[in-house]
Amino acid sequence: MSGHSKWANIQHRKGRQDAKRGKVFKKAAKEIIIAAKGGGDPAGNPRLRAAIAAAKAVNLPKDKIEAAIRKGTGEDAGGDIVETFYEGYGPGGVAIMVETATDNKNRTVAEIRHLFSKHGGAMGENGSVAWMFERKGVITAPKSGIAEDALMEAALEAGADDVIDDDDVWTIQTAMGDFAQTRDALEKAGVAMESAELAMVPANLVPIDAEMAMKVIRLMEALDDNDDVQNVYANADFPDDLPQE
């Protein structure tokens, strides 16, 4: 299983996705604001096109999508948000990337550094772990929703890079520029997608045991709970037999 998908499944199992539902719209809107700084026309801005597709996947209303674009282009106030990635290592030497969207970088970096330290990790310099990750589109779909051959055909014809068997879901990975068209093609094919987002995908996973995995999860959850954090990524290969908390 891909590391990103397994982390998402752990969150779902622990009931954290429902608890964070109120944060989902805010995160989607922030990504659109940041993407729109590169131009408000989705046709000429692949990141904005992908951000809008991801926002639609979580049912962000059309008026909120349009408002976020205007903030990003500077037409409306409220676009003073900057994207920053923080890098570091968690317990067991696991590489961690923290994606933030903030209007106060001094506050954010202090809080992220504190959380790394508190949970047995250490924040690193820029570039210390980023080379281990690549930004991609990641779409998940339940296996019960479509036959494997039909999914493969729809995804790969739309430009997807890979379709991965992730236990009870299929994970489709795309280049950033192909994300929106792949999502649209799957929707047209009647695929019931569980999620569709841009993510930092690790090139390789580091195996860790259950005890170390729980330490890494506690750090990732603490980071994820921070209001300025958009996403947390790790190159940990989480074991399937994690203890329940």
> pLDDT tier at 167 (50, 70, 90 boundaries)?
confident
Assigned fold of 133-202: Alpha-Beta Plaits (3.30.70)
3-class SS at 155? helix
Task: Give the Cβ contact number of residue 198 at 10 Å.
Answer: 22
pLDDT of residue 57: 80
77-135: pLDDT as tens digits: 988 999 999 999 999 999 999 999 999 999 999 999 999 999 999 999 999 999 999 98
CATH 3.30.70.980 positions along the chain are: 82-131+204-237, 133-202
Could you give the CA distance from residue 188 to residue 165 in angstroms, rounded to a whole number? 22
3-class SS at 104? coil
Give the architecture-level CATH label for domain 82-131+204-237. Answer: 2-Layer Sandwich (3.30)
46-66: pLDDT as tens digits: 889 888 988 888 889 999 999
> Could you tell me which CATH number the domain at 3-73 has?
1.10.10.200
1: pLDDT strictly greater than 70: no
Task: Give the Cβ contact number of residue 126 at 10 Å.
Answer: 10
Q: Give the residue-averaged pLDDT of 142-146.
A: 78
User: Strands 95-102, 229-234: parallel, antiparallel or unpaired by DSSP?
Assistant: antiparallel
pLDDT of residue 243: 67
Percent of the chain with pLDDT over 70: 89
15: pLDDT strictly greater than 60: no
20: pLDDT strictly greater than 90: no
CATH 1.10.10.200 positions along the chain are: 3-73
For the sheet with 229-234, list strands across it: 122-123, 82-89, 95-102, 229-234
Question: Taking the model in full, what pTM does it have?
Answer: 0.82
